[in-house]
Amino acid sequence: MKEPQLPPPDITQIFKPARATRYLVIGAGSRGNAYARAVTRTTPGTIHAVAEPHAFKRREFGRNYIWGAGSSTEGQEFTDWREWVQWETERRKAFNKNESGTEDQHAALNLTSPLGVDGVFICTLDETHVEIIQAIAPLNLHILCEKPLALSLDDCLTVYRTLQPPQGPNKSPLAPKTIFSIGHVLRYSPHNKLLRKLLLEDRVIGDIVSLEHTEPVGWWHFSHSYVRGNWRRATPKGDGSLLTKSCHDIDFILWLLCSPVSAENAQEEGLEPHFPRSISSAGSLTQFRRKRKPVKAGDATNCLSCPAEKDCNYSAVRIYNDRHLAKGHTGWPVDIVCPDIEDASQGQGVKAAEAQLLAKLGEDWDVKTHSDAEIAARPWYGRCVYEADNDVIDDQVVTVSWDDEAGPPYRLAKTASFHMIAPTEKQCERRGRAYGTLGEIEYDSHRISIYDFASAETTVHDVPKPPPERAESHGGGDYGLAGQYVAAVEAVVNGGMDIQTAQARFVGCTLEEAVRSHAVVFAAEEARREERVVRWGSWWEEKLRASAAILA
């Protein structure tokens, strides 16, 4: 069995900063905690402040990553991002006014740095991303935004214009002033970095002819997030789970089949991506709807009062209590239902924690007493999955095709298919197969198998598993993404590297590429809704004209 040839170590493992770069985390939910853990454990950066409206989440986050057993100090704890923006704006005014003061005077005013923080992690609900980015853009801070960037293509282009506004006679965008990264974590796991190296650098199967990629969401995971949870409703245009769950799978496919091998070399050589020719898609909501409801359940709308609860796979009691809390698991997904469940368990005991969970699951809505806005505004984790207000797709296939491209570098025609499917045993353990002119590669979340046509031999790469503390981090992708983002910021702040070089070398993806990746998702959704094939080139030009935006 061949030992995997992993990429060289990240700069975060060898870089010795002049000072630790500091970061604000906006949103102390699961994603905010994931990135904070990654920054704290594996980078020279520090989490300096948190903005979060939920008091328990905010203080627990602060204890874990910022102020420890003590209490917060000025500039570390904010009830929301608006409060932080106002505070930071005033702090900068005070710093500029007192710039000639003594070090002691600056310390008294908490003016130890002209910026306070170097970068921001945006980990709030999807619909808030654009407003937050627009508000903090004038502060010229480095940004990592959780995916998706926005819920519409127009909003994605608004972000682009905000961070790289058009200027000059031809309205070409300005060069970026700050590092920008998006939560497309699949690019950054050791497994996927090795897969890409084997395919594009080592060319172990020659030219890629076709790629099949599957995202098995997981049978109860889908019910948690996309039937009962925050992502259960499509956007006004009908975009849904492909955007919120699988936009980084589409990005992963484009990263393998569209992006240049080296972002830094492509920047130096002016090499464009190999753009698709066409995009099509088909899918539907097959399972979580009233027609699938067991007859025995009758008129019940909540698991706690349902006569079929004991026999139902999607019983909220079985999922959250029996499968998790009763076994001592107070983390995800239980802490999503009850954010302070761990405190209740440790302080009051298991029975009190169970009572708190069941009380939360017992909450329900009725169209006679609740408006649609009230129902949509929050998750309902005890709601019957067959009586919910969900409308996002649970089974979808996307097909992308490319033409031969006149070179150099003479990139050839190929196809890719992506399948997002809800009722699966595996939970987010992606798998796929790439077919080439010299062989084929099969991959799952743990190993990569290469079959060579000429030798009829199979070579297997067992990719090292991430340590236990990273097991729930997209195969190490959360740590890789956060590490590369911090490395880019470190290189700029402490190493004097220019923004574009740091962006290409460490992040490996520009804002433009992130926006275009989202655009492919929106094109696929338009193709699905209208049951047609989208011609990428003309479609993209039309969208850009309509939005009055020009991407380089």
Compute the average pLDDT of residues 309-314. Answer: 96
Q: Output the CA–CA distances (angstroms, integers) from residue 443 to 143, 204, 213, 273, 347, in the order listed.
A: 32, 14, 9, 24, 45
As to burial, measured by CB atoms within 10 angstroms (0-12 exposed, 13-18 middle, 19+ buried), residue 230 is: middle
pLDDT, mean of residues 61-67 = 96
Round to the nearest angstrom and report the end-to-end CA distance of the chain.
45
Chain mean position to CA 203: 29
The pLDDT score that the predictor gives to residue 208 is 97
Q: How far apart are CA 223 and CA 390, in angstroms?
A: 10
pLDDT at 6 over 60: no
pLDDT at residue 201, as a whole number: 95
Which range (52-56, 94-98, 520-524) has the least confidence?
Answer: 94-98
3-state helix, strand, coil in the chain (%, to 5): 40, 15, 40
Average pLDDT, the chain: 90
Per-residue three-class SS string for 422-448 = CCCCCCCCCEEEEEECCEEEEECCCEE
Task: Look at residues 520, 59, 44, 78 and name the one whose alpha carbon lies nearest to residue 259.
Answer: 520
pLDDT of 98 higher than 80: no
Summarize pLDDT for 33-47 with one digit per residue, the tens: 999 999 999 999 999
The DSSP bridge pattern shows strands 142-145 and 119-122 to be parallel
pTM of the complete model: 0.90
With a pLDDT cut of 70, the percent of the chain lying above it is 90
Q: What pLDDT score does 471 carry?
A: 52
Confidence of residue 103 (pLDDT cuts 50, 70, 90): very low
Task: Label residue 126 by pLDDT band (50, 70, 90).
Answer: very high
3-state secondary structure of 352: helix
C-alpha to C-alpha distance for 536 and 552, rounded to whole angstroms: 16
Per the CB < 8 A criterion, the answer to whether 23 and 51 are in contact is no
Lowest pLDDT segment from 212-221, 374-383, 400-409, 467-476: 467-476
Average pLDDT over residues 273-290: 96
Listed range (31-45, 341-355, 382-396, 523-537) with the worst mean pLDDT? 341-355
- Contact by Cβ (8 Å): 181, 145: yes
The band of 181, judged by pLDDT with boundaries at 50, 70 and 90, is very high
Q: What is the pLDDT of residue 400?
A: 98
Torsion from C-alpha of 106, 107, 111, 115, nearest 10 degrees = 130
Around Cβ 510, how many Cβ atoms within 10 Å? 20
CB of 439 closer than 8 Å to CB of 453? yes
Segment (H or E) for 23: strand 22-26
Q: Above 50 in pLDDT, residue 2?
A: no
In the numeric block, which tokens belong to residue 420?
Answer: 């997002």
Contact predicate 483/43, CB 8 Å: yes
| Sign, CA torsion 187/190/193/199 | negative
Question: What mean pLDDT is predicted for residues 489-496?
Answer: 95
35 C-beta neighbours (distance < 10 Å), count: 28
Residues of the chain with CATH 3.40.50.720: 11-182
pLDDT at 361: 97
For residue 190, the surrounding DSSP H or E stretch is helix 190-196
CB atoms within 10 A of CB 359: 12
The residue-averaged pLDDT of 106-123 equals 68
pLDDT greater than 50 at residue 4 = no
Its sign, for the CA torsion 76, 82, 83, 86, is positive
pLDDT tens readout for residues 194-227: 999 999 999 999 999 999 999 999 999 999 999 9
Between CA 521 and CA 491 the distance in angstroms is: 32
Question: Would you say domain 185-287+392-547 falls under CATH 3.40.50.720?
Answer: no
- Whether 7 has a pLDDT exceeding 50, the answer reads no
> Is the predicted pLDDT of residue 477 greater than 60, yes or no?
yes
Percent of the chain with pLDDT strictly greater than 90: 77
pLDDT at 237: 83
CATH of 11-182, one of 1.20.58.760, 3.90.1150.10, 3.40.50.720, 3.40.50.970: 3.40.50.720
CA angle 489, 494, 495 (to 5 degrees): 90
pLDDT of residue 476: 84
User: What is the DSSP code string of 53-117?
Assistant: SSHHHHHHHHHHHTSTTS---TTSEESSHHHHHHHHHHHHHHHHHTTTS-HHHHHHTT-SSSSS-
Q: Which residue has the higher pLDDT, 110 or 133?
A: 133
Region 215-242: mean pLDDT is: 94
Task: Report the C-alpha dihedral over residues 26, 32, 38, 39, rounded to 10 degrees.
Answer: 10
Query: What type of residue sits at position 73?
Result: T
> Is residue 529's pLDDT more than 80?
yes
Please choose, from the candidates 123, 136, 133, 179, the residue with its C-alpha nearest in 3D space to the C-alpha of residue 156.
Answer: 133
The average pLDDT across 5-16 equals 46
Residue length of the chain = 552
Backbone φ/ψ region at 349: left (φ over 0), alpha (ψ -120 to 50), beta:
left
Residue 95 pLDDT: 81
Task: Give the least confident one: 72-81, 322-331, 353-362, 407-416.
Answer: 407-416
pLDDT per residue as tens digits for the range 502-523 = 999 999 999 999 999 999 999 9
With cut-offs at 50, 70 and 90, classify the pLDDT of residue 53: very high
Q: At 15, is the secondary structure helix, strand, or coil?
A: coil
**Residue 195 and residue 448 in contact, taking contact as beta carbons nearer than 8 Å:** yes
Contacts of 230 (CB under 8 A, 6+ apart): 125, 379
User: Residue 269 has what pLDDT?
Assistant: 80
Is residue 193 within 8 Å of 480, Cβ to Cβ? yes
Give the pLDDT score at 108: 45
Q: Looking at residue 3, what is its pLDDT?
A: 42
Among 44, 112, 45, 40, smallest CA distance to 73 is for 112
CATH code 3.30.360.10 region(s) in the chain: 185-287+392-547
